[in-house]
Amino acid sequence: MTQACHRKCVPPYYKEAELSKGESVCLDRCVAKYLEVHERMGKKLTELSLQDEELLKRMQQGTGTA
């Protein structure tokens, strides 16, 4: 996350060490988006993997009885 937001928000050439207002605002937004995307992706993936598991169980039951 640090690397991604640094690449997006902080330009490669700079003259002072302090974060300017624009950069701090950009970093706030970047971190918030990253965490939200992370959370949503995690939920979606667990949901899909649960579907996967159910399908697998049904298939195994199908091949077991057949």
Partner 1 sequence: SGGGCPRPVMAAMSPPSSSSGGPEPPPPPLQYSLLLQHLVGEQRRPRAWDPTALGGIPSPPKSEEQKMVERAMESCAFKAALACVGGFVLGGAFGVFTAGIDTNVGFDPKDPYRTPTAKEVLKDMGQRGISYAKNFAIVGAMFSCTECVVESYRGKSDWKNSVISGCITGGAIGFRAGLKAGVIGCGGFAAFSAAIDYYLR
Number of residues that bind partner 1 (CB under 8 A): 26
Q: Which of residues 18-57 bind partner 1 (CB under 8 A)?
A: 20-26, 29, 42, 45-46, 48-53, 56
Helix residue ranges, H only, the chain: 2-9, 21-65
The amino acid at 6: H
> How many Å apart are CA 5 and CA 8, to the nearest integer?
5
The amino acid at 43: K
Choose between 11 and 65: whose C-beta lies nearer to partner 1: 11
Binding site for partner 1 (CB under 8 A): 2-3, 9, 11, 15, 20-26, 29, 42, 45-46, 48-53, 56, 59-60, 63
